Chain A
Amino acid sequence: MEYGGEYEVSTENPKPVVAFYGLTCCAGCQLEILNLEDDLLDILGKIDLVQFRMGSSAKHPGPYDVCFVEGSVTNDTEITLIKDLREKSKILVALGACATTGGVNALRNGRNIEELKQSVYGDSSHINTLPQILPLKSYVKVDHEIQGCPIAGDEFVEFLISLLTGATPTEKNYAVCVECRINENICLMKEGELCLGPITRAGCNALCPSVSIPCEGCWGPCPQANVESEIDMLSKKGASFDDVVRKFRMFNASKEDFMAQLKRRLNIEWL
């Protein structure tokens, strides 16, 4: 048994049984894995992939050694499902922004859900949905999170390798700016644009600033994110109150700590 490490996976099968599940989302993270063309055959040689909607219609009832879950919990059925998956899986991994921060699904948080339903669906009595979107870890114990909207294939592969070798998965506990400087991008913040790079976890290899687009924070806040300074700097660039709120909520509306700091700083109650 070569995989396991700190998660103590033990099974008679020489390859870990792996399943992928999608909750409410665009399935972009699973697509990102399908896009790993160069590595895909090697990956399949190392794991026993029993359920992967993007590649096959096969279903497997479990139990699983590792279960990757993308998407957000948006209704009661999904609460039941995620609890069931937790029971059946030795390792549960949240995949992508929807599962780790709530992602864009959490934009509804703080709004009146009945009004939202009405404006989107008209007669919405048949729509069963939760008023708040929370990260998966608010519902069940999550062993590891892979960030991003969508995730970066290389971070997924890196995690898989630590799983197979028993190494502790590494976390990039620093901001996008590190990768952005190494890529020698022109700093957009210094050019007067509104970039969340200084408070966002690295891992995307500074994808957006490398093509001159300011970071929107899809990897979630980095540890010790200096929210106050970010608000000050965005304001200095001419951002309005609404700009700041929009920017912070885009991918991180369900990050309680993060939002609490924003509310404190802007002295507001709602959001």
Chain B
Amino acid sequence: MAPKKKTSPLILKKEDIPNFVSKLTQILTVYGPVAKKSQFIFDTITDGTQLRLDYDTTILPPKKYFIPPEEEMVKFSLKPELKIQNPLDEKNTESLWNGKRFLIFGIHSCDLTAIKFHDHILTQVYPDPYRAQRRDEGIIIGVNCLTPCEDGFCKSAGALNTTETADLMLTELNNSYYVDVLTTIGKEIVDYCKTQFSSATQQQVNQVKKIIAHRAKSFPDPLKEFQKLPGQLEDSYEGEMWNRLGRRCFGCGACTMVCPTCFCFDVKDQIELDTTKGSRVRKWDSCQLVDFALVAGGHNFRPTIPSRVRYRIYHKFWIEPEQINQIGCVGCGRCTHTCPADIDMIELLTEIEKGGN
């Protein structure tokens, strides 16, 4: 998140990527897309040849490096007396985090947009110091998608052209990657591996402009009214569509687990078997689960599956835009891709556009 600095674009040959990555792994923990059978996941890269920049989408978004599925918030001891150790407290010598910087290589525009979304909502509305620390530690190399993925609708969601949260942004150009250097940290990274980069020629600059312009036209745009959805939802609250969806939905929460913008968590104190110490941990939670809106005294604000399906959509498309003027969906398509009930986000949003009945 360092200030922007204009540096002229560079060229990195594809054949040099493994060396570049391997050199990075000497100073940083590097994460990037790797193959998992027929699909892809973000994982630790130990050898540059593992990196699969040709990936379409990943099962979980890179969010997991900023908000891990499970994380310790504080450690405590109960005996001989209550002592609390907060990792965010600088006086603490035994930090829960290694403090080492990490780099995520190859994030697509949808996920860059989701990081931007979290940068807003998790500072302005729900300040999250744990994420903020990781966000400061993280360096991001983005890569432009040139082929649309199966279930995505990033163009409709206005996420296709985001480069904002990246330190370096790559665009595939024949046998090379064209590299935009977007921040001082990005500049430091290329300086560290100087020999692998060359300057882009004017011709290459023009070629990339053309590629990006062509992409803007050729990518699918299934939801032309996307930005109007918050207004349309005002009329759909009692729509029959929620009952119809609710009959199909399992309330399994898979859709929110894989969503790059979801940030809900549950907090639990875990005491160790010796009963003298423990830790307070937070774990990903989901508004689709039956206990999510259960409060003390036993009242559940959303006791049925239809009420929870509806809530996910209202939270993303109505509440969040009210809070930070940004819709909480970047069109990555992961929820569609993963839903065991085959509930399709594009179809669902199209129904709302049609009035929700």
Measured between beta carbons, the chain B residues less than 8 angstroms from A186 are 36-39, 59
Taking the nearest CB of chain A, how far is it from the CB of B257, in angstroms?
A: 4
Most B-side CB within 10 Å, residue of A181, A190, A197, A229: A181
Could you write out 5 A-B pairs with CB less than 8 Å apart?
Answer: A39-B273, A160-B273, A170-B268, A177-B257, A186-B36
Q: How distant is the Cα of A43 from the Cα of B273 in the complex, in angstroms?
A: 7
A42 touching B251 by the CB < 8 A rule? no
C-beta contact mask, B332-349 vs A, less than 8 Å → 1, else 0? 000001101110000000
Of A42, A181, A184, A228, the residue contacting B274 (CB under 8 A) is A42
A182 touching B271 by the CB < 8 A rule? no
Of B37, B60, B254, the residue contacting A177 (CB under 8 A) is B254
B275 touching A187 by the CB < 8 A rule? no
A224 touching B253 by the CB < 8 A rule? no
Measured between beta carbons, the chain B residues less than 8 angstroms from A175 are 250-253
Q: Apart from A164-B275, A226-B341, what are 5 other A-B pairs with CB-CB below 8 Å?
A: A173-B291, A181-B60, A226-B305, A228-B247, A236-B342
B342 touching A161 by the CB < 8 A rule? no
CB-nearest residue of chain B to A198: B250
Interface presence of A208 (CB below 8 A): no
Complex interface residues of chain B between 20 and 78 (CB less than 8 A to chain A): 36-39, 41, 59-60, 69
Which residues of A are at the interface with B, using a C-beta cutoff of 8 A?
A: 2, 39, 42-43, 46, 157, 160-161, 164-165, 167, 170, 173-175, 177-178, 180-182, 184-187, 189-190, 195, 197-199, 223-226, 228-230, 232-233, 236
Measured between beta carbons, the chain A residues less than 8 angstroms from B169 are none
Q: How distant is the Cα of A178 from the Cα of B304 in the complex, in angstroms?
A: 18
Taking the nearest CB of chain A, how far is it from the CB of B302, in angstroms?
A: 11
Interface presence of B165 (CB below 8 A): no
Interface presence of B258 (CB below 8 A): yes
Give the segment of B81-89, B230-238, B282-290 that binds chain A: B282-290
The verdict on A174 contacting B291 (CB below 8 Å), with A182-B257, A198-B250 known, is yes
The verdict on A195 contacting B340 (CB below 8 Å), with A181-B258, A182-B69, A229-B249 known, is yes
Interface presence of B248 (CB below 8 A): yes
Interface residue count on the B side (C-beta < 8 Å): 37
C-beta contact mask, B179-194 vs A, less than 8 Å → 1, else 0? 0000000000000000
Taking the nearest CB of chain B, how far is it from the CB of A131, in angstroms?
A: 33
Q: How distant is the Cα of A247 from the Cα of B30 in the complex, in angstroms?
A: 43
B273 touching A2 by the CB < 8 A rule? no
A-B pairs under 8 A by CB, number? 109
Interface presence of B94 (CB below 8 A): no
A174 touching B268 by the CB < 8 A rule? no
A233 touching B60 by the CB < 8 A rule? no
Q: How distant is the Cα of A232 from the Cα of B273 in the complex, in angstroms?
A: 44
Interface presence of B272 (CB below 8 A): yes
A187 touching B38 by the CB < 8 A rule? no
The verdict on A233 contacting B286 (CB below 8 Å), with A161-B275, A181-B254 known, is no
B340 touching A197 by the CB < 8 A rule? yes
The verdict on A174 contacting B252 (CB below 8 Å), with A187-B338, A187-B340 known, is yes
The verdict on A161 contacting B257 (CB below 8 Å), with A190-B340, A198-B252, A224-B251 known, is no
Q: How distant is the Cα of A237 from the Cα of B275 in the complex, in angstroms?
A: 48
B305 touching A224 by the CB < 8 A rule? yes
The verdict on A173 contacting B257 (CB below 8 Å), with A43-B273, A186-B37 known, is no
Of A167, A223, A229, the residue contacting B271 (CB under 8 A) is A167
Taking the nearest CB of chain A, how far is it from the CB of B59, in angstroms?
A: 4
Measured between beta carbons, the chain A residues less than 8 angstroms from B304 are 224
A230 touching B275 by the CB < 8 A rule? no
Measured between beta carbons, the chain A residues less than 8 angstroms from B291 are 173-174
Q: How distant is the Cα of A88 from the Cα of B291 in the complex, in angstroms?
A: 34
Measured between beta carbons, the chain B residues less than 8 angstroms from A190 are 337-338, 340
B253 touching A233 by the CB < 8 A rule? no
B41 touching A189 by the CB < 8 A rule? no
Taking the nearest CB of chain B, how far is it from the CB of A221, in angstroms?
A: 11
Taking the nearest CB of chain B, how far is it from the CB of A195, in angstroms?
A: 7
Taking the nearest CB of chain A, how far is it from the CB of B149, in angstroms?
A: 15
Q: How distant is the Cα of A224 from the Cα of B340 in the complex, in angstroms?
A: 16
Measured between beta carbons, the chain A residues less than 8 angstroms from B290 are 173-174, 223-224
CB-nearest residue of chain A to B269: A167
CB-nearest residue of chain B to A160: B273
CB-nearest residue of chain B to A181: B257
B36 touching A46 by the CB < 8 A rule? no
Measured between beta carbons, the chain A residues less than 8 angstroms from B258 are 181
A178 touching B271 by the CB < 8 A rule? no
A161 touching B271 by the CB < 8 A rule? yes
Complex interface residues of chain B between 257 and 313 (CB less than 8 A to chain A): 257-258, 268-269, 271-275, 284, 286, 289-291, 304-305
Enumerate the 5 nearest inter-chain pairs by beta-carbon distance, A residue then B residue, closest first: A181-B257, A198-B250, A177-B252, A189-B340, A175-B252
CB-nearest residue of chain B to A3: B275
A184 touching B59 by the CB < 8 A rule? yes
